[in-house]
């Protein structure tokens, strides 16, 4: 992972990254995988501004004992501490939906420094309401 993630964008010239499925198992390899976001500043066209992510080893049995200070969760926390423009967080919108089995494993990366991050992504109905509520400066 460490040897390939740093050159992935330059070497493969991918379409914009729109989802990341992270099956890295360990703290160190999860750290290495999150280094992909270091390319977002120089190659924003290769990333969407919001990227759904899946982490397989953030929940487990009482034998695995995953927590915020080890494994993937620790790597995510350390990444967030060290990154000003990109943050990875649990998708809170899914938590109330018990029928979604993997809801505690689905995260989002928010690339706040992405040139398109502030573009409106709501529906047309919401846009119509907002346009009526805008204040006019004199």
CA dist 43 → 1, 13, 16, 48, 51 (Å): 20, 10, 10, 11, 15
- In this prediction, residue 138 carries a pLDDT of 52
- In this prediction, residue 126 carries a pLDDT of 75
Q: Residues of the chain whose pLDDT is less than 50?
A: none
- In this prediction, residue 98 carries a pLDDT of 95
- In this prediction, residue 135 carries a pLDDT of 61
User: How is residue 37 written in tokens?
Assistant: 């976001």
Write out the chain in H/E/C secondary structure.
CHHHHCCHHHHHCCCCECCEEECCCCHHHHHHHHHHHHHHCCCHHHECCEEEEEEHHHCCCCCCCCCCCCHHHHHHHHHHHHCCCEEEEECHHHCCCCCCCCCCCEEEEEECCCCCCCCCCCCHHHHHHHHHHCCCCC
User: How is residue 134 written in tokens?
Assistant: 């805008």
Q: What is the pLDDT of residues 91-110, one digit of tens each?
A: 999 999 999 999 999 999 99
- In this prediction, residue 120 carries a pLDDT of 83
- In this prediction, residue 121 carries a pLDDT of 83
């Amino acid at each position: 992972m460490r040897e390939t993630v740093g050159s992935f964008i330059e070497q493969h010239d991918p379409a914009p990254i729109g989802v990341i499925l992270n099956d890295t198992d360990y703290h160190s390899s999860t750290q290495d995988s999150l280094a992909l976001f270091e390319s977002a500043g120089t190659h924003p066209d290769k990333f969407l501004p919001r990227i759904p992510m899946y982490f397989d080893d953030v929940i487990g049995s009482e034998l695995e004992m995953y927590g915020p200070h080890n494994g993937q969760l620790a790597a995510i926390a350390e990444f967030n501490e060290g990154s000003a423009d990109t943050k990875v967080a649990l998708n809170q919108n899914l938590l109330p939906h018990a029928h979604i089995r993997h809801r505690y494993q689905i995260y989002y990366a928010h690339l706040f420094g992405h040139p398109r991050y502030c573009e409106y992504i709501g529906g047309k109905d919401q846009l119509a309401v907002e346009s009526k509520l805008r204040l006019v400066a004199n």
